[in-house]
Amino acid sequence: MTSLPPCQSCLTQHVNRVNYHVMIYSQAHIPQPVLPDPMDGHGWTCENGVMRPKWTDGEIILHQLVDILEETVAELHRSDEDDDNEAVDNSSDNEYESIEESDTSDDE
């Protein structure tokens, strides 16, 4: 998922935040610049008195895609558990064989 480009809504919010920063930097030479409210369409939101980036205006991933991804992850977990169980079964057989081999080598 990290290699995918951002959705249009996320990209728009990021561009809004960058433009707001550029506006601040472009007025750095002014002692008391007049700046608009960052929560007024500039990619920021206020939650519980804390200013946070507004990541998106809507859904990031379609619900159908989320369902498909959840099913795929569940199937992978099941197959990993099956592989782990087979590995445990095989390793326990090998331990018995190695013990039996070491017992016969001591007799010689």
The number of helices, as runs of H, and strands, as runs of E, in the chain is: 2, 2
Task: Average the pLDDT over 83-87 and give the result.
Answer: 66
The tens digit of pLDDT for each residue in 7-62 reads: 788 889 999 999 999 999 999 999 999 999 999 989 999 989 999 998 888 766 66
End-to-end CA distance of the chain: 60
pLDDT of residue 58: 72
Residue type, 59: E
| 108's tokens | 């010689």
pLDDT given for residue 103 in this prediction: 54
